Amino acid sequence: MRQIVLDTETTGLDPSQGHRIIEIAGIEMVNRRLTGRHLHKYIDPEREIDEGAQAVHGITREFLAGKPKFADIADEFLEFINGAELIIHNAPFDLGFLNAELRRLDRVPVETVCNGVTDTLKLARELHPAKRNSLDALCERYEIDNSSRTLHGALLDTELLADVFLAMTRGQNSLMIEPDAAPRRQLGADGQVRQRGPLLVRRASAEELAEHERLLAAIDQESKGACIWLAKPGAA
């Protein structure tokens, strides 16, 4: 299974108002493992960047001067995503911009080239109803280090999103998680192999158990009674 974790940065919020893509990044996974293959391009949008957008990603019009235009990288982009499932956080936003760029070139939409799209924002809202589900919030929830993310950047965000997606979907395809072919050795600060100590079993407190029950009740309400983890009256 080939998947591409994808992200873009733009000049603004609405492609229908002429806003354009200024950065695009994708990293490849095969069978849920990063391959090291990636695509990363800065793009000359041929227009100014809104102040609000620039405050988010920090990319300036001056920096993009002389960078390729989207038409120059379109073929490479389409070849890279061809036949792969796309993993995107808030997919309608990125797809809206990508398809607007492709329409300008009389090219087919992204959805006709890739093999489906998974929106991790939608997935996160299904898994964590009534919770914050921004990329930063998910990194915190799944204990993924995002300390280097002071500004939005497409390449860094795809790397973080890949970790988040794997954490959110771990065990989805099988109740058994296959171990790495070569287990990673634990190294200390001196570079020496560190012996793994006995696992610490930490029991949930009464407050944590109550919060767990409240979460299951919220999932049950959102799924209209389909929560399989919530014991129902009369259940065996």
Spatial separation of the C-alpha atoms in residues 182 and 226, rounded to whole Å: 39
Q: How many CB atoms lie within 10 A of CB 126?
A: 13
Spatial separation of the C-alpha atoms in residues 49 and 103, rounded to whole Å: 21
Q: Which residues does the annotation mark as catalytic? A: 152
Task: Identify whether the C-beta of residue 53 lies closer than 8 Å to the C-beta of residue 13.
Answer: yes
Q: How many CB atoms lie within 10 A of CB 32?
A: 15
Q: Which helix (H) or strand (E) segment is 23 a member of?
A: strand 21-30
